[in-house]
Amino acid sequence: MVDILILMFSAILIENYIFSKFLGICPFLGVSDKPSTAVGMGFAVTFVMTISSAVTYGVYYLVLEPLGVEYLQTIAFILIIAALVQFIEMFLRKYIPALYSALGIYLPLITTNCAVLGAAMLNIQEGHNFIESVVYGFSSAIGFTLALVIFAGVRERMALSKPPKAFRGVPIALVAAGLIAMAFSGFLGISFN
């Protein structure tokens, strides 16, 4: 139990996907204009990442490993994620339309979000068991959401300020992200061993 909590804590704060692992930077810069869209994207990613962590774990240990074709991991995982996203989209549209209208526009973008594929592959690389994989997928996504929401708040303020002309848009956003990353690197000092 303690191990699981440590895994969660480190996935959310210490090894934050945006600020220390650099996974999912594209949606981070793309949809962090407003806190509301950031929350929507965050939930969609959390949803998909938790399920995809479980499914890719099953496919790797039940199909790829027994057949001895571990090198097909990349192709298999990206196809699973693409199919899963499509499936979740259809399922939500049919059965939970309210959730679909909230997450709908973000779902197709998730296929090419490297955080989802990254989590699936890190689970295999780190040798997580099934429970750990699901918890890791879920908590990394929570860390991603946290980063997205914090940054959206910063960006809202930034829209009112006047940086030099050349820095307008993405450059100033990157510099701000760097400052937040500096704050997050403070968590690196925390160790459980």
Partner 1 sequence: MNGKKILSQFKEGLLTNNPVFVQLLGMCSALAITTTVINALGMGLSVTAVLICSNVIISLLRKIIPKQIRIASYIVIISGFVTVVEMLLKAFAPAISKSLGLFIPLIVVNCIILARAEAYASRHSVLPSAIDGLAMGVGYTVAVVVLAFVRELFGSGTILGITVLGDWYKPVGMLINPAGAFITLGCIIAAVQKFLMKKQDRDFKKEGNEGKVNG
Residue 154 binding partner 1, by CB under 8 A: no
Entry field: residues in the chain: 193
List all residues 6 or more positions away from 161 whose beta carbon is below 8 Å from its beta carbon: none
The 3-state DSSP class for residue 21 equals coil
Residue 187 binding partner 1, by CB under 8 A: no
Q: Residue-wise over 53-63: b if at least 16 C-beta within 10 A, else e?
A: bbbbbebbeee
CB of 43 to partner 1, least distance (A): 20
Interface segment toward partner 1; rule CB under 8 A; list 20-28, 49-57, 59-67, 133-141: 20-28
The 3-state DSSP class for residue 191 equals coil
Which residue, 4 or 72, is less far from partner 1 as judged by CB?
A: 72
Residue 79 binding partner 1, by CB under 8 A: yes
Residue 39 binding partner 1, by CB under 8 A: no
Q: Residue 146 and residue 110: Cα distance in Å, rounded?
A: 17
Residues in contact with partner 1 by the rule CB under 8 A: 19-26, 29, 71-75, 78-79, 82, 111-114, 117-118, 121-122, 125, 164-175, 177-179, 181-182, 184-185
